[in-house]
């Protein structure tokens, strides 16, 4: 019997959907190995996050609320999460492979003497954790040989879990982050201001490449507007300053799997494909028909993006009346 502790992801006091993708993995794990799952909500003034999780069948929702946990300082969060796991007897700690999960979870693993599998995409029939390696060119099935296990989950590989009703109890956990975080000071956060859906959660993603240059926004934004899409970018477009770092899709950026993905003026380097090739429908628009993006696209249009994307935007707009 396992007890799985799920680190909830939240932003500005609201639950993030990647938590529910991670829950889907936890439910699979518990269905296979038996046991139950709890949530850990770490932060400050996060009562609303705990409440939002009450209908999802957890044994309990543990809230570690402390002013020193307001920002996800890895040393402090990692310690609190490990302390909580020990106090409730959790043998598995899991969380989304977001930048917070990637930052925090390995530290928890060390404190629990646990091996960690990163960014997993499936639990195999034999109970191994499948994870992409070599930019997704190969899938590695890995086993963790320690009694305690830490697992970060690639959210796009698991459909978000549904609420099951009921009302899980909320329990306060007396967190002690003080020493662990004392040599780190939060200075500032420069957030991308956007009213668009989160890249990780969007049903439609419009992604642009370096070729769009300073017209990056002028080309991608109107199309994203008519489709209520998130905007993404290739690494090259971000490196050259045409798009913010938060937009980067790929092996070392965000991994997305929307219903519909537009790759506009993106060549399709293996590192970019690693971040989007599991999208349901892929549309590639590129003036060079030899680019590798066309090898994964369901629909390819060999054309100049500057000419056809505005036309595409207005046709879709017309359709939607």
Site for another protein, residues 275 to 314, rule: CB under 8 A = 277, 280-283, 289, 294-303, 308, 311-312
Choose, by CB under 8 A, the member of 31, 110, 178, 218 that binds another protein.
110
Which residues in the 35-54 window bind another protein by CB under 8 A? none
183 is a site residue for another protein (CB under 8 A): yes
Name the nearest CA neighbour of 107 among 204, 31, 177, 159. 177
CB of residue 257 to another protein, shortest distance in Å: 12
Complex with another protein: residue 171 or 186, whichever CB lies closer = 186
- Taking CB under 8 A as the rule, does residue 259 contact another protein? yes
Query: Which positions from 196 through 235 interact with another protein, judged by CB under 8 A?
Result: 200, 227, 235
Contacts of residue 94, defined as CB under 8 A and 6 or more positions apart, other chains included, come to 4, 5, 6, 7, 22, 25, 26, 29, 150, 151, 152, 153
Cα 74 from Cα 180, distance rounded (Å): 9
Nearer to another protein, 70 or 170 (CB): 70
Choose the binding region for another protein from 22-30, 47-55, 165-173, 182-190 (rule: CB under 8 A): 182-190
Q: Is 315 in the site for another protein (CB under 8 A)?
A: yes
- Let me know: does 77 contact 69? Beta carbons within 8 Å: yes
CA separation for the pair 79, 295 (Å, rounded): 45
Asked if 117 is part of the footprint of another protein (rule: CB under 8 A), the reply reads yes
Taking the complex as a whole, how short is the minimal distance between the CB of residue 115 and another protein, in angstroms? 3
CB nearer another protein, residue 36 or residue 139: 139
Of 7, 61, 109, 266, the one binding another protein by CB under 8 A: 109
Q: Which of 167, 188, 195, 290 binds another protein (CB under 8 A)?
A: 188
CA–CA separation, 279 and 260 (whole Å)? 7
111 binds another protein (CB under 8 A): yes
CB 181 within 8 Å of CB 66: no
* Residue 78: CA count within 13 A, CB half-sphere: 22
Contacts with another protein in 89-108 (CB under 8 A)? 98-100, 102-107
Dihedral (CA of 96, 20, 155, 46) sign:
negative
Residues linked to residue 232 through DSSP beta bridges, in sequence order = 207
Total site size for another protein, rule CB under 8 A: 89
Distance of CA 3 to the CA centre of its chain: 23
CB 200, CB 156: distance < 8 Å: yes
CB of 269 to another protein, least distance (A): 8
43, 57, 95, 132: which one binds another protein (CB under 8 A)? 132
């Amino acid at each position: 019997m396992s007890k799985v502790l799920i680190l909830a992801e939240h932003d500005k006091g609201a639950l993030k959907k990647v938590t529910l993708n991670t829950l889907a993995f936890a439910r699979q794990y518990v269905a296979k190995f038996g046991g139950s799952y709890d949530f850990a909500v770490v932060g400050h003034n996060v009562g609303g996050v705990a409440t939002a999780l009450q209908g999802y069948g957890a044994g309990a929702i543990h809230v570690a609320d402390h002013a020193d946990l307001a920002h996800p300082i890895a040393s402090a969060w990692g310690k609190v999460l490990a302390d909580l796991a020990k106090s409730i007897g959790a043998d598995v700690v899991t969380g989304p492979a977001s930048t917070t999960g990637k930052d925090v979870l390995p530290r928890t693993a060390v404190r629990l003497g646990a091996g960690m599998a990163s960014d997993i995409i499936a639990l195999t029939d034999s109970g191994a954790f499948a994870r992409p390696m070599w930019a997704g060119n190969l899938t590695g099935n890995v086993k963790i040989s320690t009694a305690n296990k830490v697992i970060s989950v690639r959210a796009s590989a698991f459909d978000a879990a549904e609420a099951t009703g009921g009302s899980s109890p909320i329990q306060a956990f007396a967190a002690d982050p003080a020493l662990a975080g004392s040599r780190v000071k939060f200075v500032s956060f420069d957030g991308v201001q956007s009213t668009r859906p989160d890249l990780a959660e969007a049903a439609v993603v419009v992604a642009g490449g370096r070729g769009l240059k300073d017209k990056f926004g002028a080309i991608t934004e109107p199309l994203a507007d008519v489709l209520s899409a998130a905007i993404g970018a290739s690494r090259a477009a971000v490196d050259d300053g045409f798009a913010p770092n938060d937009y980067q899709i790929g092996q070392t950026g965000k991994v997305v799997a929307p219903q519909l993905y537009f790759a506009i003026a993106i060549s399709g380097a293996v590192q970019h494909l690693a971040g989007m090739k599991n999208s349901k429908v892929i549309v590639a628009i590129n003036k060079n028909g030899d680019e590798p993006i066309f090898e994964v696209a369901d629909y390819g249009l060999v054309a100049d993006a500057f000419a056809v994307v505005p036309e595409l935007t207005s046709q879709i707009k017309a359709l939607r009346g």
